[in-house]
Chains A and B, each alone.
Chain A
Amino acid sequence: MTEVFSATVIIGILTSGIRLATPYLYAAIGETFGQRSGVLNLGVDGQMLLGAFAAFYVAFTTENLWLGLLAAMIVGALMGLGMAYVTVNLHAEQGISGIGFYLFGLGMSELLFKMLLGTVETVKGFPITPVPLLSKIPVIGEIFFQQNILVYGAFLLVPIAWFILNKTTLGLKIRSVGENPEAADSLGVSVARVRYFTIILGGTLSGLAGASMSIALLNVFQQNMTSGLGFIAVALVYFGAWRAWGVLAGALLFSMVNSMQLWMQVLNIPIPSDIAVMLPYILTIIVLVATVSRVRAPSALTKPFDRGH
Chain B
Amino acid sequence: MNKKNLLVVLVLALALVLSACGGAAAPEEVMEEKPMEEEAMDEMAEPFKVAIIMPSSITDLAFSQSMFDALLAVQEEMGGEKAMEIVYSEGMFVVDDAAAAIRDYASEGFNLVIAHGSQYGSSLQEIAPDFPETSFAWGTTLNTFDMDNIFAYEADAHEGGYVNGVIAASLSETGVIGVVGPIEAGDAALYVKGFVAGAEATNPDITVNVNWIGSFSDVALASEAANTHVAAGADVLTGTAQMVVGAVGVAEENGALWFGTQASQTSLAPDVVVANQVYDWSVALDEMLALIAEGTYGGEAYTITLENGGLLMDYNGGYELPEDVKAAADAAVAGIIDGSIVVPVE
Contacts and interface: CB of A to CB of B under 8 A. Distances in A.
Interface centre among A8, A223, A273 (most CB of B within 10 A): A223
A3 B193 CA distance: 25
A107 B11 contact: no
Given A12-B231, A90-B8, A227-B217, A101 B246 contact: no
Interface in B229-260: 229, 231-233, 242-243, 245-246, 249, 252
Interface stretch (A131-139, A170-178, A195-203, A262-270): A262-270
A103 B220 contact: no
* Range for the number of chain B residues in contact with chain A: 35 or more
Given A92-B7, A218-B220, A227-B215, A109 B22 contact: yes
B15 interface: yes
A23 interface: yes
A75 to B, nearest CB: 14
A218 B219 contact: yes
A243 interface: no
Contacts of A119: 59, 61, 267
A82 B8 CA distance: 11
B22 A227 contact: no
Contact of A273 (B7, B91, B214, B231): B214
B228 A266 contact: yes
Given A2-B232, A8-B231, A222-B245, A258 B8 contact: no
A266 B229 contact: yes
A91 B4 contact: yes
A168 interface: no
Contacts of B246: 218, 220
A8 B269 contact: no
B19 A110 contact: yes
A302 interface: no
Contacts, number: 178
Interface in A185-234: 213, 217-220, 222-227, 229
Interface stretch (B28-36, B163-171, B204-212): B204-212
A229 B220 CA distance: 10
A110 B223 CA distance: 21
B192 to A, nearest CB: 11
A277 B15 contact: no
Interface of A: 1-2, 8, 11-12, 15-16, 19-20, 23, 82, 86, 90-93, 96-97, 99-104, 106-111, 113-114, 118-120, 122, 213, 217-220, 222-227, 229, 258-259, 262-263, 265-268, 273-274, 276-278
28 contacts: A8-B231, A82-B11, A86-B8, A90-B7, A92-B8, A104-B19, A106-B22, A107-B17, A107-B21, A110-B57, A111-B18, A114-B57, A122-B249, A213-B219, A213-B220, A217-B220, A218-B220, A219-B249, A222-B243, A223-B57, A224-B91, A229-B220, A263-B232, A266-B209, A273-B214, A276-B212, A276-B214, A277-B212
